[in-house]
Structure 1
Amino acid sequence: MSVTIDIAGLPPERIAFAPSPLAELCMALHALSQPAHHPGLTSWTTATAASLDPALADRLLEGDFMWRSSFSDVFMAFAGVPGGTGLPAATLAEELDVLDRMDDERFVTAALEHCWLALYDEGGWPSPLHDPAARARALATAAARGPRQLDFSQRLLDDPPGVRVWLRRLLEDCDEAFFAETWKRVEPAQSADARHKTGLLRHKGLPAALKEVSTALSVDEDRTTITVDKMVSGSTTATDPRIGTGVVFVPTNFGWPHLLVLHAPGWRPVVHYPLAIPEPASAPGSVELLQRRMEALAHPLRMRLCRSLARAPYTTGELARVYGISAPEVSRHLAVLKRAGLTHTIREGRYVQHQLDLAVVARIGSDFIEGVLR
């Protein structure tokens, strides 16, 4: 499984490395909402969460599914507005201005990314703003995520301009509360890394630059395709004239272990790569328990289920729809994972959701946890 980026005929100057304050704010919010994903950021997440005004913390809960279980493409607006530079802006305010220029249909589709796992694979799915079936599906899926997700999705579909104003004000308040100081601290290292990799690209070529981004990245001998090794399949092109040519590599201090690839249809491709890779602590477990867990993970479909369950809780029905198998078959695989102690269940109203226990998975090894969260 992998994500491929077609770069055939792409001029070298259209391959860029640049920091993005809006994309980094997304990752910072994700770290705050999912601290288990980021043990190396414990000090920052603990201190920042403790200092948040309670009213701001409550407002963040309203839309946290845009950065908690998935990373909404609205945070990379520079890649989704036709006719733009295709590059991140220097300041958060400028990037929010770019987001304001995105049309409602594109904004709503990107904001509702949490509503279906296979959104990228369904590039032809109608807009929920205009198609009743798509709207019904979005709301039904949001309901399984919880009442806040359902309320937000309903508001978004009924009043996109109002939600856009709400989101911009929320992100501006986050900037004032904690992100401006954080960005001031991390931006110099990100800019230095972007300059370094730009130099590598110019003087040593794309393979050398990609190698320093991540060992999960490679390019073929003919320099026509970039391949990103991930537990998901997808493809995109960096040469679509309708949106503009180019591919952008964006560094992040808050990203590890995530290596993100924006490959949505009609968007410029973006690779969001972590700068720091911490060494996680390890602890011994019983041989019998380790054997059960290794056997549970030996099945390729269970590995793919783990990728989804690592990001957020999902119901059996949702997983069955995404992976194209029956609900009983999903249940059998989930039972194996649960017997191995790798998952736990959460009841949300009449829905039973399943989620990977990241603390347990971390004990297996950093290669596995990085693989499922990449």
Structure 2
Amino acid sequence: MAVIITLQGVVPADIAVGLSPLAELMACLHSVAEPEHHLDVRPWLEHVSTALSEETRSLLAVYAPLWNRRRCRALLPLELPLGRTLEQELARLEALPLDEFVTVVAPGVHGGFFDTGDLLTDESVRGAYVLSCERRSFSRGELARRLVETPEQVRAGLLDLLRRCAAEFFDAEWARVRHRLESECARVRARIQALPLPEALASLSPNATVGRNPPAVVFDKLQSLRADPRGRRCLLVPSVHARPHLIVKDDTSYPVVVHFPVEGAGLAERATLAQVRLRLAILAEPARLELCRHLVNEPITTSDLAARTGMTAPQVSRHLGRLREVGLLTSRRDGRLVYHRLDTDCLMRLGVDVLTSIIR
């Protein structure tokens, strides 16, 4: 399964890179709703949790389907220009014709796959839609019912909630991350000008590959989607809080949007899925796992490891070489001796990398 953006006939002018505070707010709300997906921002999540008023907390539970799983297209840029303020983006959402609002929000409320094409005109489709949402969860069913019966109230409540979140925590967070996102936009624009488009877009994710015939970028996702931005533009929107998720939205009425994560300052580079698999395979070998029990406690030489484990020195050297190849071993020379030790920071990150690779 993969998300493929075909780039046949697409030129750099068809790609726009810019900021969207509303998209970043949605990413924040996703991490608040799904904290187990975002282990590296736990302190920030705890801070936000204490800042939320009870009324805001209650409303977040009501509207959570819009950002829990299948991010709502209405909360990503619907058109150019990028770089609007949050209030300008909210005003754009408020100005959407009501039927367009329902159409663009309904898939996010459902969170799965349901053909909403006749939702506005066919009563039986509306009933089936609400029932399908109810089967997914009670909260989705309730929000779906309100969306088809009183869409104006749903929109007003959503806008009120987003403005509450801005006042209670997001305005301060946007001020903190905006410069980092602007810098990332500049880097991506430079890559688009310097590299073939498939390579430039593949740089947005460590798990992306380049397709050649036709030219395309392929993102490894638990989703099957083929997007063609010709005639509609492709909007690239960086995010700090989207980590580790890369989101691609392809709704025919709007531009293709890629909401991609930016690694935070000071964070180690995320391992690719292939690196995670290899590290797990290396550690799964019983002899190497036994060596790790000695390597984690203190720096130790090859000969000492051989004496402790009963292996020959060449056997130990081969196992150490495999651990070093995947970045799990550090070595330092002291005179004639070389001391080895397990890289515990890398090992501790492995658990997060496994989770990140699964949910990316």
- TM-score w.r.t. length of structure 1: 0.69
Cα drift, residue 199 of structure 1: 1.0
Distance 1:139 1:196 in 2: 44
Cα drift, residue 107 of structure 1: 2.2
> Percent of aligned pairs with the same residue?
25
Partner of 1:21: 21
Cα drift, residue 256 of structure 1: 1.5
Alignment of 1:102-251 (within 5 A): 102-113=96-107, 114-115=109-110, 117-119=112-114, 122=115, 125-221=116-212, 224-240=215-231, 245-251=232-238
Cα drift, residue 236 of structure 1: 2.0
In the alignment, structure 1 residue 96 sits paired with structure 2 residue 87: no
Cα drift, residue 368 of structure 1: 4.8
Distance 2:112 2:355 in 1: 19
Letter in 2 for 1:54: E
Distance 2:75 2:62 in 1: 17
Alignment of 1:1-374 (within 5 A): 1-76=1-76, 78-79=77-78, 84-85=79-80, 87-113=81-107, 114-115=109-110, 117-119=112-114, 122=115, 125-221=116-212, 224-240=215-231, 245-276=232-263, 365-366=351-352, 368-374=354-360
State the SS of the aligned residue for 1:264: coil
The aligned length equals 284
Is the radius of gyration larger for structure 1 or structure 2? 2
Distance 2:220 2:242 in 1: 17
| C-alpha distance after superposition, 1:105-128 (max 9, x if no partner) | 332233222425124xx4xx4332
Letter in 2 for 1:73: R
Distance 1:369 1:109 in 2: 33
Distance 2:199 2:227 in 1: 22
Distance 1:268 1:91 in 2: 19
Cα drift, residue 366 of structure 1: 4.8
Cα drift, residue 135 of structure 1: 0.9
Letter in 2 for 1:274: P
State the SS of the aligned residue for 1:250: strand
Cα drift, residue 175 of structure 1: 0.5
Cα drift, residue 223 of structure 1: 6.8
Partner of 1:330: none
Letter in 2 for 1:108: V
| Aligned 8 A contact 1:230 1:371 in 2 | no
Letter in 1 for 2:5: I
| C-alpha distance after superposition, 1:258-278 (max 9, x if no partner) | 111112333311111111275
Segment of structure 1 superposing worse, 247-256 or 182-191: 247-256
Over the residues paired in the alignment, what is the CA RMSD in angstroms?
2.8
Letter in 2 for 1:115: H
Gaps of 5+ in 1: 292-361
| Aligned 8 A contact 2:11 2:197 in 1 | no
> 1:207–1:7: structure 2 CA closer, same or farther, 3 Å change rule?
closer
Letter in 2 for 1:107: F
| Aligned 8 A contact 2:202 2:217 in 1 | no
| C-alpha distance after superposition, 1:193-216 (max 9, x if no partner) | 001110121123324423431123
Distance 2:355 2:106 in 1: 26
Partner of 2:328: none
Cα drift, residue 231 of structure 1: 1.8
| Aligned 8 A contact 1:238 1:246 in 2 | yes
Distance 2:33 2:173 in 1: 17
Letter in 1 for 2:92: V
> 1:63–1:94: structure 2 CA closer, same or farther, 3 Å change rule?
same
| Aligned 8 A contact 1:105 1:127 in 2 | no
| Aligned 8 A contact 1:261 1:272 in 2 | yes
State the SS of the aligned residue for 1:272: strand
| Aligned 8 A contact 1:89 1:95 in 2 | no
- TM-score w.r.t. length of structure 2: 0.71
Cα drift, residue 170 of structure 1: 1.1
Cα drift, residue 160 of structure 1: 1.4
Distance 2:118 2:153 in 1: 18
Segment of structure 1 superposing worse, 364-373 or 140-149: 364-373
State the SS of the aligned residue for 2:252: coil
Distance 2:155 2:41 in 1: 30
Distance 1:147 1:172 in 2: 25
Letter in 2 for 1:101: A
